Amino acid sequence: MKAKVKKVVDEITEVLKTWEGIETVILQHFVEKDIYDPNFSITLDVFKSGDIPENAHREAAFPDARYFESSRVKNKDRFILEDLPVRISYKDSERVDAVIAATAGESWLLKERGTYLFHRIATGTVIWSRGEWINGTLEKLDNLPGSFWTQWVESCNRRIDHLLSDLRAASLKGDALYFNLSLSGFLKTIAEVLFAVNHVFEPGPRDYTASLGLLEVLPEGFEANWGSLLRDDAELPRDRKREIAELLARGVFPLNP
């Protein structure tokens, strides 16, 4: 981490840890990118067990920040500090506990769509913690029951089957928008199920390409089929892409977590 970046991270952390409701501050890996990379940001996940200051107080806590914005829908702050983009997301630790507890059954699927939340907790860097909450949470994520992965794979496979039906219908109707939306959902769900088969929490879509290449278990012919579906080529008509999607799905369905 560059000295300028570390200085900003430390400055923000010194403010956050004075708020009584804060349990843990986790720094996401986007900070390791070059500062001129469009995906660079100082992204902090702040887990709280109580109330945090209101928007105006949070803005006042960073007097040198520019372009400070707070979401009215979710607890998120965005601003520029020392010419570096900062993203802070405030999350309830009790909700995380509830989602993890639900992984013993099927109800977790009603609480969280996918495993991205777990990915951010498990792969981020803990830069400050008030107590033992984060250590206990990481231990639980390391010991999820096998049924958790099985349920998630089965859920993804059902969605893949549904999306294949959408692709067939869109191809038959010649509806380009319907087809592309269905293909987008298909590609995302294929990625999700492959991460699950490999017992890997899914990263954000910006990291799918690099992360898929690191998986040990992939269906036969995956690289060629996946590449064909990503091609923007008039010589590869929608009906042919639909056939490739079906071929890819047939290779994915037998995979077990």
Whole-angstrom distance, CA of residue 63 vs CA of residue 153: 47
Residue 230 lies in a domain: yes
Confidence of residue 2 (pLDDT cuts 50, 70, 90): confident
Residue 167 lies in a domain: yes
Q: In this model, does residue 22 exceed pLDDT 80?
A: yes
**Number of domains forming the structure of the chain:** 2
Q: Which residue has the tokens 């879509």?
A: 205
Percentage of the chain surpassing pLDDT 90? 81
- Are residues 16 and 113 located together in one domain of the fold? yes
Q: In this model, does residue 173 exceed pLDDT 90?
A: yes
CA distances from 89 to 43, 46, 129, 188 (A): 8, 6, 16, 24
Whole-angstrom distance, CA of residue 94 vs CA of residue 101: 10
The residue segments making up the domain with residue 33 are 3-142
Which CATH number characterizes residue 116's domain? 3.30.460.10
Q: In this model, does residue 41 exceed pLDDT 90?
A: yes
- Are residues 133 and 45 located together in one domain of the fold? yes
Task: Give the contacts of 39 (CB within 8 A, at least 6 positions apart).
Answer: 30, 33, 206
For all residues of the chain together, what is the average pLDDT? 93
Residue 257 lies in a domain: no
**pLDDT tens digits along 46-76:** 999 988 899 899 999 999 999 999 987 768 9
- Are residues 120 and 204 located together in one domain of the fold? no
Residue 163 lies in a domain: yes
- Are residues 74 and 126 located together in one domain of the fold? yes
Q: In this model, does residue 188 exceed pLDDT 90?
A: yes
Which CATH number characterizes residue 213's domain? 1.20.120.330
Q: In this model, does residue 12 exceed pLDDT 90?
A: yes
Mean pLDDT, range 186-195, rounded to an integer: 98
CA dihedral 38, 180, 150, 102 (to 10 degrees): 70
Q: What is the pTM of this model?
A: 0.91
- Are residues 83 and 123 located together in one domain of the fold? yes
